[in-house]
C-alpha cells in the first residue's frame, strides 16, 4: 500500500531545506551572461584579427567548448555550476561539460567500455532529440514554402 500523499509531502518539506530561488535565478543569470559576454568578446577579438565572419562563427563556439571541457577536466566547471546552475548548463558550455564529465568519470574502465560506452550518456539524448526536432522543423518549413 502506498503512503498517503499528505504524509509524504509533509515529510519531504520537513527534511528538504528551502531553496533560495531568487539567489539561484540571479546566479544563473549572472554566470550565463558572463559566458555569453565572453563569447561576444571572442567574436570581436577574432574579427579584429582579420578572420572572416564565417570562420569566426565556427571559432567562437569551438573555443567555448574547448575551455568548458578544459575547466571540466581540471575540476573547476563543477564548482562554478554548483552555484550557477542553469547559467552554465544552458549555453554551449553545458553541452561540452555533459560530454567531458562522463569521459573523465569512466576513463578508469578503459577507452572502449568506459569512455566510449559512456561518452554520450548525458549528451546523447540532447543530440538525438535536437536532430529529430530539426528534421521536423525542416519538414514544416518545406511544407510552408511549398504550399504558399
Question: Cβ contacts of residue 51 below 8 Å, gap of 6+?
Answer: 59
Residue 14 located in a structural domain: no
Asked if 38 contacts 16 with a C-beta cutoff of 8 angstroms, the reply is no
In a domain, 62, yes or no: yes
Q: Report pLDDT digits (tens) over 18-58.
A: 888 899 999 999 999 999 999 999 999 999 999 999 999 99
First-to-last alpha carbon distance for the chain, in angstroms, is: 58
> Could you tell me the CA-to-CA distances from 50 to 56, 60, 139 in Å, in that order?
10, 14, 38
Query: Does residue 13 lie in a domain region?
Result: no
pLDDT band at 2 (very low <50, low <70, confident <90, very high): low
Classify residue 117: in a domain, yes or no: yes
7-25 mean pLDDT: 86
pLDDT for res 40: 97
Q: What is the pLDDT of residues 115-126, one digit of tens each?
A: 888 888 888 888
Q: Does residue 73 lie in a domain region? A: yes
Q: What's the grid cell of residue 73?
A: 577536466
Q: Is the pTM here over 0.75, yes or no? A: no
Specify the number of domains making up the chain: 1
* Distant-in-sequence contacts of 57-61, Cβ < 8 A, 24+ apart: 61/92
CB contact at 8 A, 59 and 49: no
Residue 80 lies in a domain: yes
Is residue 10 assigned to a domain? no
CA dist 61 and 96 (Å) reads: 10
Q: Does residue 77 lie within any of the structural domains?
A: yes
55-110: pLDDT as tens digits: 999 999 999 999 999 999 999 999 998 888 888 877 789 889 988 888 888 888 88
For residue 139, the enclosing domain spans: 20-146
Amino acid at each position: 500500500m502506498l503512503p498517503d500523499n499528505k504524509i509524504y509531502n509533509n515529510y519531504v518539506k520537513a527534511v528538504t531545506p528551502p531553496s533560495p530561488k531568487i539567489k539561484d535565478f540571479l546566479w544563473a543569470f549572472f554566470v550565463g551572461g558572463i559566458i555569453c559576454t565572453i563569447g561576444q568578446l571572442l567574436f570581436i577579438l577574432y574579427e579584429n584579427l582579420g578572420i572572416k565572419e564565417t570562420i569566426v562563427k565556427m571559432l567562437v563556439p569551438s573555443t567555448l567548448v574547448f575551455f568548458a571541457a578544459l575547466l571540466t577536466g581540471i575540476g573547476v566547471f563543477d564548482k562554478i555550476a554548483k552555484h550557477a546552475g542553469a547559467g552554465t548548463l544552458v549555453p554551449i558550455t553545458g553541452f561540452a561539460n555533459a560530454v567531458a564529465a562522463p569521459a573523465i568519470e569512466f576513463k578508469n574502465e578503459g577507452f572502449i567500455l568506459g569512455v566510449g560506452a559512456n561518452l554520450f550518456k548525458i549528451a546523447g539524448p540532447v543530440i538525438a532529440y535536437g536532430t529529430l526536432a530539426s528534421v521536423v522543423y525542416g519538414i514544416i518549413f518545406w511544407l510552408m514554402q511549398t504550399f504558399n
